Amino acid sequence: MSTAMTADSFTRLTRRQLAWCAAQAIPDGSYVNLGIGVPTLCANVMPADREIVLHSENGVLGFGPAPAAGAEDCDLINASKEYITMRPGGAFFMHTDAFVMIRGGHIDLALLGAFEVSGTGDLANWTTGDRRFPPGVGGAMDLAVGAKAIWVLTEHTTKKGEPKIVDTCKYPLTAAGVVRKIFTDLAEIDVSPDGLVVRAMVEGLTQEALQAMTQPPIRLADDCRVMAAPAG
Amino acid sequence: MSTAMTADSFTRLTRRQLAWCAAQAIPDGSYVNLGIGVPTLCANVMPADREIVLHSENGVLGFGPAPAAGAEDCDLINASKEYITMRPGGAFFMHTDAFVMIRGGHIDLALLGAFEVSGTGDLANWTTGDRRFPPGVGGAMDLAVGAKAIWVLTEHTTKKGEPKIVDTCKYPLTAAGVVRKIFTDLAEIDVSPDGLVVRAMVEGLTQEALQAMTQPPIRLADDCRVMAAPAG
Amino acid sequence: MPIDKIVPTLEAAVAGIGDGMTIMISGFGFAGVPNDLIEAVLKLGAKDLTVISNNAGTGTEGLAALMGSGRVRRIICSYPRSKGSDKFDARYAAGEIELELVPQGTLSERMRAAAAGIGAFYCPTGVGTELAAGKEVRTIEGRDYVLEMPLRADVALVQAQKADRWGNLTYSKSARNFGPVMAMAADLTIVQAKEIVPLDAMDPETIMTQSIFVDRVVHVDNDREWDI
Amino acid sequence: MPIDKIVPTLEAAVAGIGDGMTIMISGFGFAGVPNDLIEAVLKLGAKDLTVISNNAGTGTEGLAALMGSGRVRRIICSYPRSKGSDKFDARYAAGEIELELVPQGTLSERMRAAAAGIGAFYCPTGVGTELAAGKEVRTIEGRDYVLEMPLRADVALVQAQKADRWGNLTYSKSARNFGPVMAMAADLTIVQAKEIVPLDAMDPETIMTQSIFVDRVVHVDNDREWDI
């Protein structure tokens, strides 16, 4: 496994493919919050054979994919302020009640974006600490402490190629030790008590190459799969 | 004024008449909670020329009088568990929200029953302290601390003829210093910083006779009226 | 797989309710009480129960029957005694049921705190009274408050008007009362609904309990006259 | 006399809003923002304002115009920066607007606490983070919480779908967001409603803000395209 890796030996997933991979992993019947960023894309790629109820902190439960062009409704948006549609069984409610659901432990799973995730599941996704720009926390801290499980969906590295999965978050934390699973454009990784376990990787990626882009030590699951998604 | 008083020199108001007198004193446009007992009777005798919005802690705002016989709805009752009707503009909501209205200071006025009221507005209306019988507090304590004003509606004396307006409540308090006005079957009395001021008395009643049935000192308002209500 | 929270029988609805559990029961007076579910719990035979309900039942059936059954160790409520609450009154007088009396607004707010993940809250109700005896008092901006703790339950029994297979609910008039907040505050929320409607029949604007809070729904639409 | 909270003009709706006041503004992103009321406040000229709103506005009108006007001293919100929030960003970078960043759920819960007469509450959100720095921490049943204080306002500006003369309101879809809780948490609640309906037109089961929380209603149903 010491063969030299070339930059084009593997292909990163698109944001939509990353969302698709995460969406396929959601248990049937779950109540799931989709956070700002890549997570909100999941609504467009949910598995057709499962009934999963999507929650948005702006007072929506049971929403569906983005509307067709021309069918947008200004009063019907998700946490990322993108247009959505409603599924039968959906409901609207006020913000306070949306956070009763979140803080009160009623959400089975929240998918969140991240600036950084640590090997022990610390999450940093609300501020880079750059005082020139206003920080924005939104519902991230509420979800991080309230949802029964937290998965992170993010690019594996920053635009500069630096790892986003780190030993210690250098950005201010959203919450400590809350992330259970990480989906990136390269791999699906469990945050286990014994460290990071790679459940799947994109075709052509090696453990060494992935480790080079990941600060904490990783190990491959015995049944590590190829991570793939429909084109698009 | 030292003439001997005879028992039949005045006539006590009926419960309905007492409710009528209190109802006529409610300012137009008020949001008013009607407590268990005599207060709930007020809904049947509200002044026709005013729009007053009645609140019940079981999740009803804007209710009207009792229904005609045969038109009762088991799902539509007041705090006394008596049948009511709804007025246009009324609304239903859950218990928690009914108490947001109460505790949050949104109710202009609450009319409550009492076991005892003190000359300084202390209210005792939830338990006699008799350990053989279970006490019941209901929404009385919430109303006592939350409504902008508290009026008490009660018989002037107990069944044994003892004063219910007392120097010091002997029963456990509901709240201290909250009552602003007392309507009894004999008089309308303001609880002022300077003591009890009689605003009205039933026909034939004297200050001496009323004082004999009232522990704290009373004085008559300069414009003390005759307290009267339609028969019934 | 379609989500389907509808169960075929009252027996299936209450399955798993066991000894020592804490059970919230919706209703205010005779409005909104899930009498059929209560009867099913009685048949099940669970004992040593803690009941959280605004009242303690009147007459001989429903909540009153539960109170008289000897299976309730403790009740948390605001107003147990009413005309006809003989079943409870007798057990209380005999010292056979422990009573925690809570102001009605504090009762519903404590349920909401449990539902909303609030650790505790400062409440102005009852300050200086017997019902606040022993509770922490704190002065905030010149006003005194008592510290109140969340009130959760293992099970909530709730009566609703309409339900769909996801568990969305609407209620009828003042029968709504404690239904929505109890549905939110229990680990297992069991609903008896007068009507079961298709998933697309409810207006998403007017659902009063969202499906996320409901676990089981049973259809009960009988004309039975209860002695309550 | 009939209760009539409907006022004829936007000017009448915002009358009395003065310097130094704290104003809640409903909306999440572009949904449910009372743009016409905000514009009326701008015309009124009140300054030194504290604004409580989830976002800080995008584009050049509505909330963004208010942020850029120099009349806002402070904003309390959860997510000020979005694509197009240039007006706010510039004032923030220049140190001209003070920002209190509050987690979104804590923001709405603090409003509800003010509305409900709760003195303070223990909240699990943000424990151990910068946003909880300096706040009292308390361990309750093994979990850490921070003490959060009620958040009230002098005025709430709320956008609704339907209103009647008592001030009962309904909303449209996710434009509901902060409307109901802000209506409850302000001393003076001012509503712009797309439709005014007769008093008996609303179903009492489905009113989302009850009239008790509303002070003024103005009818605004224009097709204006806002740059937001």
Task: For Cα atoms C148, C215, A106, give the angle at the middle one, nearest 5 degrees.
Answer: 50
C118 to chain D: closest CA residue: D123
pLDDT of residue A232: 76
**D203 → chain C, closest CA residue:** C206
Please state the domain count of chain C: 1
Query: Residues B176-213: pLDDT tens digits?
Result: 999 999 999 999 999 999 999 999 999 999 999 999 99
Amino acid at A106: H
Are the beta carbons of C176 and B92 separated by less than 8 Å?
Answer: yes
List phi, psi (to 5°) of A30. Answer: -75, 155
The residue of C33, C81, C173 whose CB has the most chain B CBs within 10 angstroms, and thus the best one to mutate to test that interface, is C173
Q: Determine, yes or no, domain membership for D195.
A: yes
CB-CB contact of A123 with A112 (8 Å): yes
Q: For this structure, is B208 an active site residue?
A: no
Q: Is C117 part of the contact surface with chain A (CB cutoff 8 Å)?
A: yes
pLDDT at A6: 54
Residue C12 to residues A73, A104, A109, B95, C168: CA-CA distances in angstroms? 42, 27, 28, 29, 19
Q: For residue D137, is it within any domain?
A: no
The answer to whether residue C131 is domain-embedded is no
Residue of A nearest to D115 (CA): A96
Strand B218-227 and strand B195-202: the pairing is parallel
Angle among Cα B93, B95, B101 to the nearest 5 degrees reads 75
Task: Compute the distance between CA of residue D29 and CA of residue A162 in angstroms, rounded to an integer.
Answer: 32
Averaged in consecutive runs of 10 residues, what is the pLDDT profile of chain A (232 residues)?
56 97 98 94 96 98 97 96 97 98 98 97 94 92 98 97 97 97 98 97 96 98 97 83
With CA atoms as reference, the chain C residue closest to D161 would be: C205
Neighboring chain A residues of C3 at a CB cutoff of 8 Å:
29, 51, 53, 89
B1: confidence class by pLDDT, cuts 50, 70, 90: very low
Question: Are B123 and B175 spatial neighbours (Cβ–Cβ below 8 Å)?
Answer: yes
pLDDT category at D222 given cuts 50, 70, 90 is confident
Instruction: Work out whether strand D216-219 and strand D169-170 pair parallel, antiparallel, or are unpaired.
Output: unpaired
Please enumerate residues of A whose Cβ is less than 8 A from a Cβ of C.
28-29, 31, 49-51, 53, 55, 61-62, 86, 88-93, 97, 99-107, 145-146
Asked if the Cβ–Cβ distance from D207 to B91 is below 8 Å, we say yes
> C185-225: per-residue pLDDT in tens?
999 999 999 999 999 999 999 999 999 999 999 999 988 88
* Domain residue limits at C176: 6-119+150-219
Q: What is the pLDDT of residue A131?
A: 83
- pLDDT reported for residue B131: 83
Hey, are the CB atoms on C181 and B95 less than 8 Å from each other?
A: yes
Write the pLDDT tens digit of every residue in D84-131: 999 999 999 999 999 999 999 999 999 999 999 999 999 999 999 999
Report chain A residues whose CB lies below 8 A from the CB of C210.
61, 91, 93, 97, 101
Contacts of D117 in chain B (CB under 8 A): 100, 102-105, 145-146
pLDDT tens, position by position, D127-139: 999 999 999 999 9
Looking at every residue in chain D, the average pLDDT score rounds to: 97
Residue to substitute from C106, C110, C122, C181, interface D, most D β-carbons within 10 A: C122
State the amino acid at position B24 in one-letter form.
Q
Express each pLDDT in C3-56 by its tens digit: 999 999 999 999 999 999 999 999 999 999 999 999 999 999 999 999 999 999
In this predicted structure, what is the pLDDT of residue A8? 58
Q: Is the pLDDT reported for residue D221 higher than 50?
A: yes
Predicted confidence (pLDDT) per residue in C155-169, tens digit:
999 999 999 999 999
pTM for the model stands at 0.97
Cβ contact, residue pair C184, A106, below 8 Å: yes
| Chain C residue numbers touching B92 (CB-CB < 8 A) | 171, 173-174, 176
What pLDDT does B4 receive? 46
Q: Which one of B51, B57, B72, B116 is the catalytic residue?
A: B57
Instruction: Report CB contact under 8 Å: A53, C168.
Output: no
Residues 134-163 of C with CB under 8 A from A: none
Query: Rounded to an integer, what distance in angstroms lies between the CA atom of residue C61 and that of residue A227?
Result: 60
d(CA D67, nearest CA chain B) in Å: 30
Q: Return the axis-axis angle of helices C104-116 and B95-103, rounded to nearest 10°.
A: 110
Distance CA B180, CA C73 (A): 41
pLDDT one-digit tens code per residue, D10-27: 999 999 999 999 999 999
The answer to whether B and A touch (≥3 CB pairs < 8 Å) is: no
Asked if D199's CB is within 8 angstroms of B101's CB, the reply is no
Chain position carrying tokens 């705090």: B79
Question: Is it the case that residue C152 has pLDDT exceeding 50?
Answer: yes
- Among A10, A18, A3, which residue's Cα sits nearest to residue A208? A3
**Helix, strand, or coil here: C144?**
strand
Q: What are phi and psi of D183, to 5 degrees?
A: -55, -35
Interval B59-100: pLDDT, tens = 999 999 999 999 999 999 999 999 999 999 999 999 999 999
Domains defined along chain B, listed by start:
7-227 (3.40.1080.10)
Output the domain CATH number for residue D85: 3.40.1080.10
pLDDT in tens, A67-80: 999 999 999 999 99
The span from the CA of D128 to the CA of B158, in Å, is 58
Around Cβ C149, how many Cβ atoms within 10 Å? 16
Candidate from A92, A101, A145 with C-beta closest to C212: A101
Residue among B14, B13, B16 nearest B65 (CA): B16
pLDDT for residue B140:
96
A and C: touch, per 3+ CB pairs < 8 A? yes
Task: Please write the tens of the pLDDT for every residue from D135-186.
Answer: 999 999 999 999 999 999 999 999 999 999 999 999 999 999 999 999 999 9
Contacts of C117 in chain A (CB under 8 A): 100, 102-105, 145-146
Beta strands in A51-156 (DSSP E): 53-56, 60-64, 85-92, 109-112, 116-118, 123-124, 150-153
Task: Please indicate if any CB of chain B lies within 8 Å of the CB of D40.
Answer: no
Q: Assign residue A121 a region (left: φ > 0; alpha: ψ between -120 and 50; beta: otherwise).
A: left
Counting Cα atoms < 13 Å in the Cβ hemisphere of A103 gives 31
Q: Is residue D140 part of a domain?
A: no
pLDDT in the model for residue C112: 98
DSSP string, D93-114: HTT-SEEEE--HHHHHHHHHHH
pLDDT value at residue B7 = 54
For chain B, percent of residues with pLDDT exceeding 90: 92
Place of tokens 């029949």: C201
Of B51, B61, B100, the CB nearest to D2: B51
In a domain, D224, yes or no: no
Q: State how far the Cα of A1 lies from the Cα of A15, in Å rounded to an integer.
A: 29
Cβ distance B133 to C89 less than 8 Å, yes or no, reads yes
> Which of A58, A74, A132, A171 is best to mutate for the D interface (most D CBs within 10 A)?
A58
